[in-house]
Structure 1
Amino acid sequence: MADATKNPIADLSESEQLELSKFIESEQQKVKLQQAIHQFTSTCWPKCIGNIGNKLDKSEEQCLQNCVERFLDCNFHIIKSLESTRK
């Protein structure tokens, strides 16, 4: 029976460990992007979309674009503030 406490990563070569590390980092970035999209949608969709149809009209598109840009601006501002406070 296999030892449940054995670390299977330790059996990988250095290049395999590096490849696995890059894969995990890539997957984490995908998760962060999906979370951001979810936040944009939950914040901006109710503000900008009236009736759901086959296509967004120009005002809805502009509203969504502005909302996402403001959302990003706010988040970048918060990050900068936190970084300056930490220093």
Structure 2
Amino acid sequence: MTTNPTSFLTPEESIQVDKALLSPPEKFLTRLTISSLRLLTQIARDQNCAIEQLSPREIIDWFENEARQRQDQPSSGTFLQW
């Protein structure tokens, strides 16, 4: 399984979700949950803590910092690239 900052769901994972016996809303939520896990893992890594220790404020701060970095240095290679 390989991922990069612009891919929060691998093609293999997407196929697995598509094959799952889930309704479309459940498939969407599954994709969102897998992607969220990737983001939370990166945020925890950046904060040097376990995912369980992250507070909502730390998550918000991380996203604000990412946005600031993209605005100030568009080619800086931030984690989120869109």
TM-score range, shorter chain: 0.3 to 0.5
| Structure with greater helix share of residues | 1
Q: Given the two structures, how large is their TM-score scaled by the length of structure 1? A: 0.38
Q: Answer with 1 or 2: which has the greater Rg.
A: 1
Structure having greater relative contact order (Cα 8 Å, sep ≥ 6):
2
